[in-house]
Structure 1
Amino acid sequence: MRSAYTEVLRVAVPLMISTGMFSLVLFADRTLLFQHEPAEMGAAMAAGNLFWVSICVFVGIASMTGAIASQYVGAEQRDRIGGMLWQSVWFSLATMPLFLLAGYYAEPLFRWTDQAPSLIPAETIYFQILMWGGAGEVLQTALSGFFSGTHRTRTIAVVSIISGLVNLVLDCVLIFGLDPAWWGGEGPRVWELGIAGAGIASVISFWFKAVCYGVILLRPQFRSTYGIARGLGLDRRMMARLIYFGFPAGLMYATEAGAFTVIVLMIGRLGDVPLQATTMAINFNMIAFIPLVGLSIAVSVLVGNHLVGSGPARAVRCVWAALTIAWAYSAAWALIYWFGAETMISLYSINPAATTIPHDAKLALQTAQGLLGFVAIYVLLDATQLILAGALRGAGDTWFVLLAGLCVSVITLTIGFAWEPAWQPALWGENASTGAAEFGSMSASVSAVLYWWWKVITAFVVLLAAAMTARYLQGSWKKMRMV
């Protein structure tokens, strides 16, 4: 079992560093927006979720490049990896017109979902800018699949760290702008773009990663060993295989992200403060969750490799090793969420003095502390479903993963809509003696709806973990192959 831990950590640690860098960039991005204008942080959360829903099916298809490549490695057919990689590249580039078309309809979509009118302009511009980077995100996912599938995960970590630093620098410059006084000049700040600047920084980062991977793949050893130069043309059979196994994985991302986005949009109806509080809590959730995505990718790669090479027994040991690592990591975060919520949320108000934070931002900070309690409850189960879903995808059991996610999404959203408490569009609570608005407390009806939807999020994670656990223990995935 010790060798299984060693193998999992060898592949997973660079991937966890890579995805962890992504989570830090997201956290910094939204925190900087809160410092610039609190409402922009909530708008970035809603629009960013919609962006992910718009591209995640295509990202899911591209992500199967790594799992399929790992099975080619296990079957000693490395020369076929180049052909599969090129199919994912052509597929990625073909998505560009679709993403730009989706961006064109952003404002009507946000109005249709009944978002707070004050948020719609910021949500629209952020979403439209991000869509210019959608194809870049799909492409970098496809190209990184080569490095994960061939166990060169350190390359992914290095590229991710560099692109993350580029993103953070651009965030600081484009959100807040440059003050001419810094170099002895006069006048207002230049390039102070706020939420639009955050979107531009993200787009540059997406394409930067894709270019980096492309340059590395031009090295002679990759072109000869993996058939990259020979696989340049369109191969319909390989393309069909990529889409067949990748489409349910992508649709699974879409159902999960779609359900979560619907919940966030329902919270967005309540106004800026509930959405800001939700964004703060989710930001800290992402710091714990996204590194586990790297561990899940490692599990997919190792399961695919061992099923074709050494057999299912070795794959099972790798899955259990990954689970225990994920549980230990998540348990530590659960304790931090439960006992250190106040300290964590206070990070959002480090720069502004307490007297300069408006009433609504103060209320958002207070509310977010309570929401972290929900995260502490479900974080271990979230880790479980993520690792087991990665194992099932690595085996090729992607259609079950899709159906499970779809059923859980439908069930939880149906319950959420059917039993949503009635509410009145009034943010502040009332003083019991005077009946006047009482700053610093949320109205009872708004609070009830906010906590209701967070209960729905928790139920979603619980049901998803139960479904993945049942399928994994049933064992049919051990007989599946993709090559």
Structure 2
Amino acid sequence: MLSRLKRRWKEPFGYRDVLNVGLPLVVSLGSTTAMEFTDRIFLSNYSLISIAAALPAAMVNLVFLLFAMGISAYSSVFIAQYYGACKYEKIGSVVWQAIYFCCIAWVLLASLALVAEPFFAFVGHAPEVQREEVVYFSILTVGSGCALVANAIGCFFTGLGKTRPNMVVNVIAVIINIPLDYMLINGVWFFPEMGIAGAGLATVSSWAMQIVMYAMLVFTRKNDTVYNVIRAWRFNKNLFLRMMRYGIPSGLNNFFDVFAFTMFIMVIGRLGEVELAASNIVLSINSLAFLPVVGLNIAASILVGQAMGRKDVGQATVAAHSVLHVALLWMGTFGAIFILFPYELTSLFKPADISAEQFANIQSMCQILLAYVALFCIQDAIALVFFGSLKGAGDTMYVMWAIAICATLGLGVPMFIGRFVFDAGLHVLWGMLIAYVCTLALAAYLRFRGGKWQHIQMIEQEPSSC
């Protein structure tokens, strides 16, 4: 057993390569998680209404942001395949097509602020929660283009598998965001007290700084000499349309997945403020485990993409299973932490405007919900890694349809029927969420095992430059 682990560590696309590519991405996503986690701690300490409003508003923004980001971020898979095929001169043009798409998407995202008020009125949360949801959502949507463009430029490093710059940029963004968040929410130093609006402005400010940092790192003479990152700035219609062909299904699978979770939060919110606050706290804690594994999902896409660029299916399979082993270890550890330390985790979220007795009721509810989360941690890891591997091979249409069908028929329809026809309560709704995640894991595993992804041709069939 030990010799087998050592061999898997050293071989190409083994554990060492997974950690070289994936660990900086885990830290990057962990930094983003830490930023959002800290935001919610500040907001929960500021007001129960603010923490009740923050997650629904952020999730609705994410539905649209991650749809656009899923399209632009798929450029990293094109870069990975070109890099694996040693066609370095084509990489710069990929980066620019992603930026052009992001500029179009930015305008569309910002326009969503115009419909924020009627949308959250339709959702039907308490009026005081609605007001804060509208404010937070509007700021995030107007500023989301900064996150899009920064991510598109950062995909240059992700696709090459040189992910340490992504880690550095994200850590610096957290260092900027956390103190700014604290000052803008609470009115510290010369800043006015802005509450949830301050949290939104702090987040957008950190996204803007990411653009500046990534631009300084990517658009250099050295990178231009090898990858044409400056000279290939022109719009390339054929490449752009090919990126859309594979990227739009990737964006849609993000849309359906986040949409399902967003509708889950909205339906839970109709049960009452306590149920909504407890669910928001638990999902915020779960993000500590979940979002870093999204980094491993990206690592699976990149490593499988590089292997498929070389037309090496064997190495692609090794890469997928190596990433899976790391993801299972990570999620299994956090599942145990959720069960063993529920009160220690939830105590970080005590609002200043409620009594200890009131928060004790929320904590007891959180303890049960954290046990539910622990139940689907492993299934989450399986779904993320195998779907990421399929996307790395270009099998984005299957991923899109699998998530769309599971999100609609496996969670959305049963949830609405259960709640609004049969008056299902909190625990039944959470049971539906667990079933949804397990179904996703099965759909991802069976498709990868079936092997159809091995025959997809994404990039031009030209002789390799290697």
Indicate the TM-score class for this superposition, using the shorter chain for normalisation: over 0.9
Aligned to 2:450: 474
Map 1:374-393 onto structure 2 (within 5 A).
374-393=372-391
Please state whether the residue corresponding to 2:271 is helix, strand or coil.
coil
Deviations 1:400-441 (A, max 9, x none): 000000110111211112222779xxxxxxxxxxxxxxxxxx
Aligned match for 1:64, one of 62, 67, 74: 74
Compared with structure 1, are the counterparts of its residues 88 and 356 closer, same or farther at alpha carbon in structure 2 (3 Å cutoff)?
closer
Please state whether the residue corresponding to 1:396 is helix, strand or coil.
coil
Aligned to 1:415: 414
Contact 2:183 2:189 in 1 (8 A): no
Q: Tell me the CA shift for residue 314 of structure 1.
A: 0.8
Q: Tell me the CA shift for residue 320 of structure 1.
A: 0.8
Please state whether the residue corresponding to 2:425 is helix, strand or coil.
helix
Q: What runs of 5+ residues in structure 1 fail to find an aligned partner?
A: 181-189, 424-444
Cα distance in 2 for residues equivalent to 1:356 and 1:194: 17
Cα distance in 1 for residues equivalent to 2:439 and 2:40: 29
Cα distance in 1 for residues equivalent to 2:116 and 2:428: 28
Cα distance in 2 for residues equivalent to 1:77 and 1:130: 37
In the alignment, structure 1 residue 218 sits paired with structure 2 residue 228: no
Please state whether the residue corresponding to 1:230 is helix, strand or coil.
coil
Aligned match for 1:100, one of 100, 110, 127: 110
Aligned to 2:165: 155
C-alpha RMSD of matched pairs (Å): 1.7
Contact 1:116 1:268 in 2 (8 A): no
Q: Tell me the CA shift for residue 361 of structure 1.
A: 3.8
Contact 1:273 1:360 in 2 (8 A): no
Aligned to 1:195: 196
Aligned to 1:399: 397
Contact 2:25 2:299 in 1 (8 A): yes
Map 1:185-334 onto structure 2 (within 5 A).
190-309=191-310, 311-334=312-335
Q: Tell me the CA shift for residue 360 of structure 1.
A: 4.5
Cα distance in 2 for residues equivalent to 1:118 and 1:157: 38
Please state whether the residue corresponding to 1:464 is helix, strand or coil.
helix
Cα distance in 1 for residues equivalent to 2:354 and 2:39: 21
Aligned to 1:184: none
Please state whether the residue corresponding to 1:95 is helix, strand or coil.
helix
Cα distance in 2 for residues equivalent to 1:372 and 1:269: 20
Aligned to 2:40: 30
Please state whether the residue corresponding to 2:274 is helix, strand or coil.
helix
Contact 1:342 1:369 in 2 (8 A): yes
Aligned to 1:16: 26
Aligned match for 2:133, one of 120, 123, 126: 123
Aligned to 1:434: none
Range with bigger deviation, 327-336 or 389-398: 327-336
Q: What runs of 5+ residues in structure 2 fail to find an aligned partner?
A: 1-7, 460-466
Report the residue type matching 1:417 in the other structure. Answer: F
Aligned to 1:452: 428
Q: Tell me the CA shift for residue 192 of structure 1.
A: 0.9
Deviations 1:37-92 (A, max 9, x none): 11101201000000001222210111111111010011111111111110111111
Cα distance in 2 for residues equivalent to 1:99 and 1:364: 34
Aligned to 1:442: none
Deviations 1:250-297 (A, max 9, x none): 000000111110110111112221111011100111000101111111
Contact 1:137 1:206 in 2 (8 A): yes
Q: Tell me the CA shift for residue 219 of structure 1.
A: 1.5
Please state whether the residue corresponding to 2:235 is helix, strand or coil.
coil
Cα distance in 2 for residues equivalent to 1:410 and 1:356: 37
Contact 2:153 2:214 in 1 (8 A): yes
Aligned to 2:184: 174
Compared with structure 1, are the counterparts of its residues 340 and 316 closer, same or farther at alpha carbon in structure 2 (3 Å cutoff)?
same
Deviations 1:197-246 (A, max 9, x none): 00001111112112211111222111111011221111101110111111
Cα distance in 1 for residues equivalent to 2:244 and 2:360: 47
Report the residue type matching 1:118 in the other structure. Answer: E
Cα distance in 2 for residues equivalent to 1:9 and 1:30: 29
Report the residue type matching 1:79 in the other structure. Answer: E
Q: How many residues align?
A: 448
Range with bigger deviation, 88-97 or 150-159: 88-97
Contact 1:58 1:250 in 2 (8 A): yes
Aligned match for 1:365, one of 357, 363, 366: 363
Cα distance in 2 for residues equivalent to 1:364 and 1:154: 39
Q: Tell me the CA shift for residue 481 of structure 1.
A: 2.6
Q: Tell me the CA shift for residue 359 of structure 1.
A: 5.4
Aligned match for 2:439, one of 463, 472, 475: 463
Report the residue type matching 2:434 in the other structure. Answer: T
Report the residue type matching 2:74 in the other structure. Answer: M
> TM-score with structure 1 length normalisation?
0.90
In the alignment, structure 1 residue 143 sits paired with structure 2 residue 142: no
Cα distance in 2 for residues equivalent to 1:259 and 1:150: 32
Contact 2:106 2:148 in 1 (8 A): no
Report the residue type matching 1:288 in the other structure. Answer: A
> TM-score with structure 2 length normalisation?
0.93
Q: Tell me the CA shift for residue 129 of structure 1.
A: 0.4
Aligned to 1:187: none
Report the residue type matching 1:132 in the other structure. Answer: V
Report the residue type matching 1:407 in the other structure. Answer: I
Q: Tell me the CA shift for residue 144 of structure 1.
A: 1.2
Cα distance in 1 for residues equivalent to 2:421 and 2:79: 51
Cα distance in 2 for residues equivalent to 1:74 and 1:356: 56
Please state whether the residue corresponding to 2:36 is helix, strand or coil.
helix
Report the residue type matching 2:322 in the other structure. Answer: A
